[in-house]
Chain A
Amino acid sequence: MSLRKTVLVLAVFAMIAAACGGGTAETTTTAGQATTTVTSGQLIVGVSWNNYNEERWAKWDEPAIKAALDAAGAKYISTDAGSSADKQLNDVDNLISQGANALIILAQDGTAILPAVQSAIDQGIPVIAYDRLIEDPDALYITFDNVGVGKLMAQVIYGLVPTGVYAVIKGNQADANADFLREGFTQVIGDAVTSGDITICCETYTDNWDPAKAQTEMEQFLTQENNKIDAVLSENDGMATGVVAALEAQGLAGQIPVSGQDGDQTALNRIALGTQSVSVWKDARELGKAAGEAAVQLAQGKALKDVSGVVQFASPGGNDLTSILLTPIAITKDNLNVVVDAGWIDQATLCQGVASGTVDVCP
């Protein structure tokens, strides 16, 4: 009996909460519309996150966007699609009805979002494709040059191992970035592969960029090649975690150069320890800043072509996209001070377990 009562109480609570939630949403919406109509002076920039559940967005991107908007006196509103491409379509409408003058969209699915993007642009609201490609020539694409990221990784590894056997661990097959990165690898080592100086023994995509899966893959590659692998091009730091664990089990960690990107704290620690050679760091704050500033310019009515810093980018879908492509930095053991100075990682975390005197940053 008492249990039934508890459930009843919970149900009532849930209903009240739902009613309140709906209520608040309504008030903000009306408030938002009121601001646009009454004080047309303040610009509103709406950001649609695809999945706020990743450390990066909350910690680095969002504050940078907010800061850029604050500096221009614009207002920040946002929604989170929770990894659902469907929900993101509604989110975009929602942001528009809240009075957004410009949209920044981190697309869950660059194709599924197209109708929403087109309808926003038809309503005169400019759209910025944030970090992930949206194949719409009317949207502004802001990202780090992913082919460039691949090139940077490959350059460091190629510098260390100009001849030998390479293994390539690629990311999720459905993610266009996996192929951009691979394209960057090809630009650097392609000739050496053709001439036979470099042999690619093993290459695979990895579902969801899963580190545990990358570990199994690396174990299988080492088995297949009887450990005769001289370098590993891993497309991000998470998978490099798995690769290094597999190398560790064979006593090869630190002897075989491994690449990565994202500037993960554990990866930077591995660079200090010498078990990873490079992590290409894309300073998310630069990206957020660029997007915030561009959004303000667009909301003020500037045309895509007139936004500062734009270039033309030929997309894989055959479109000529107006883009801002930022340049990433390759972090190796020689320039670890960059990430420390930027406040990206503290010295204690970076230097955990590092013997003194091996790298300059760690005393």
Chain B
Amino acid sequence: MSVTETTPPVTPQSAEGPQRSSFRNILRVAEIDSRLLGMLGALAIIWIVFHILSGGTFLTARNLWNLSVQTAVVAIMATGMVMVIVSRNIDLSVGSMLGMLGMTMAVVQTEVLPKWLGLGHWAIFPLTLIFGLVLGALVGGLQGVAVAYVRVPSFIVTLGGYLVWRGAAWALSRGRTIAPMDRTFQLLGGGSRGAIGETWTWIVAAVLCLGIIFLMWNARRQRIKFGFRLRPKWAEIGIGVISCAAVLGTVFVLNRYYLPENLAKRYAIEHGIAYPPGGLQIPLGLANPVLIVLGVAMVMTFVATRRKFGRYVFAIGGNPEAAELGGINTRRTLVKTFVLMGILVAIAAAVSIGRLNAATSGLGTLSELYVIAAAVIGGTSLLGGIGTIPGAVLGALVTQSLQSGMVLMGIESAYQQIVIGIVLVIAVAIDSVFRKRATT
């Protein structure tokens, strides 16, 4: 069945429902991803509902700041999970791997390195982190080789990994809780010291804005160069202005969260300032974990859409045989996706232990499910070939919003699980309905 034959001409359709299709036309002409827009809409609804139900605490700078930090760990891993799922695989081991890598990094920084360097040495932080990243890459690579070269289904390999790494986390510590973390390492987890302050936050926002404008300008230039169809000027300007406004608006809100009173008083004493009666308002700015998410998301988007590796992953996910026949080294590419996943889990593990300021052998339990849920809610298709990095980050934000919001409302954890489970299924159901409609 040829698509061109069955697609009716544009005019009769617009006569049927002029308004709806004209909105769709706008989206189509402006090349806006309607899925992403839909998710933003859903997120807005969730936030507003929680704001009302929680008696006005949800949409406060403080809660949104908390939310941004609470989302980080899952969001970091979800960006890697997108690539794994796009390549028609799955990784069930990320939660256990998080536990194992977190525990290893905790042991290295509290028990191994201090023996050589002494407690509190500056080199403990970088050495621990590098060690964790390398170990993550190796562990991911090991699973990747089993999947790609030994041809064991990834479901089985990572189900094995799920057990192996959780066991390893326990064996390393014999069930102990390891704490406290290195002073510098704690900064990775955010907290009151682990944020970049007001000025730097504005600088980051400005850079992001300029980056968006540059990318759009560059894309337009390339299209002109190759004679491709251009977006209309109004769309280009509109999207640029809206994205920039969104970035600046977010930063404006996050910058309204001030250093907690007690810490501000301590700060005043340390800096010899008289504490003003109205309180000292020192904005914390973006927290480090959020900065890490931004960095990871940008790098991963670049890798997924602009690098050969990313294109190969999508090609393999779309049609593995065709990709192989087309000359792609599918096995090596698959190993790379798992290596990348391992590295991202290591980053997430570092954030996680930094934030808790401790490593427990149960760290990351069940987080594989939240990571997969975030990727899937963010539009990644389990059939492979489809998925976006920003979608997955948004998906993580949606699931965490639901969780945090329900805690604010005092809903019991059993019901929280029920709600998140239902939302997961509904999100995928809506998606598949829309996709079907889009193709017919």
Do the two chains belong together in a single complex?
yes
**Cross-chain pairs A/B with CB under 8 angstroms, 11 sampled:** A3-B150, A173-B412, A205-B413, A211-B356, A220-B408, A241-B357, A242-B356, A250-B262, A251-B192, A264-B176, A352-B180
Give the total of B residues in contact with A, Cβ under 8 Å.
Answer: 46
Check A250 against B260 for contact (C-beta < 8 Å).
Answer: yes
Check B412 against A204 for contact (C-beta < 8 Å).
Answer: yes
Which of A212, A252, A265, A352 is within 8 Å of B356, CB to CB? A212
Within 8 Å of chain A (Cβ to Cβ): is B309? no
What residues of chain B lie closer than 8 Å to A211, measured between beta carbons? 177, 356, 358, 360, 362
How far apart are B186's CB and chain A's nearest CB, in angstroms?
A: 9
Contacts known (A215-B355, A252-B262); A205 close to B175, Cβ less than 8 A? no
Check A353 against B180 for contact (C-beta < 8 Å).
Answer: yes
Within 8 Å of chain B (Cβ to Cβ): is A42? no
Which of B70, B175, B179 is within 8 Å of A53, CB to CB? B175
Check A223 against B62 for contact (C-beta < 8 Å).
Answer: yes
Interface string of A187-200 (1 = CB under 8 A from B): 00000000000000
Contacts known (A210-B362, A220-B407); A173 close to B262, Cβ less than 8 A? no
Within 8 Å of chain B (Cβ to Cβ): is A255? yes
Inter-chain CA distance A3–B152, complex, in Å, is 13
Check A210 against B357 for contact (C-beta < 8 Å).
Answer: no
CB-based nearest B residue for A201: B410
Interface string of A2-38 (1 = CB under 8 A from B): 0100010000000000000000000000000000000
Within 8 Å of chain A (Cβ to Cβ): is B60? yes
The residues of B with any CB-CB pair to A shorter than 8 Å are 54, 57, 60, 62-63, 66, 70, 149-150, 167, 170, 173-180, 190-192, 260-263, 266, 352, 355-358, 360, 362-363, 365-366, 403-404, 407-408, 410, 412-414, 417
Interface residues of A in 156-173 (CB under 8 A from B): 173
CB-based nearest A residue for B400: A216
Inter-chain CA distance A255–B54, complex, in Å, is 27
Check B262 against A251 for contact (C-beta < 8 Å).
Answer: yes
Check B356 against A241 for contact (C-beta < 8 Å).
Answer: yes
Chain A interface residue bracket vs B:
35 or more
Inter-chain CA distance A212–B400, complex, in Å, is 13
How far apart are A264's CB and chain B's nearest CB, in angstroms?
A: 6
Check B62 against A53 for contact (C-beta < 8 Å).
Answer: no
What residues of chain B lie closer than 8 Å to A241, measured between beta carbons? 177, 179, 356-358, 360
Check B174 against A59 for contact (C-beta < 8 Å).
Answer: yes
What residues of chain B lie closer than 8 Å to A265, measured between beta carbons? 176-177
What residues of chain A lie closer than 8 Å to B358, measured between beta carbons? 211, 241, 245, 266
Check A3 against B260 for contact (C-beta < 8 Å).
Answer: no
What residues of chain B lie closer than 8 Å to A173, measured between beta carbons? 412-414
What residues of chain B lie closer than 8 Å to A223, measured between beta carbons? 57, 60, 62-63, 66, 408
What residues of chain A lie closer than 8 Å to B150, measured between beta carbons? 3, 7
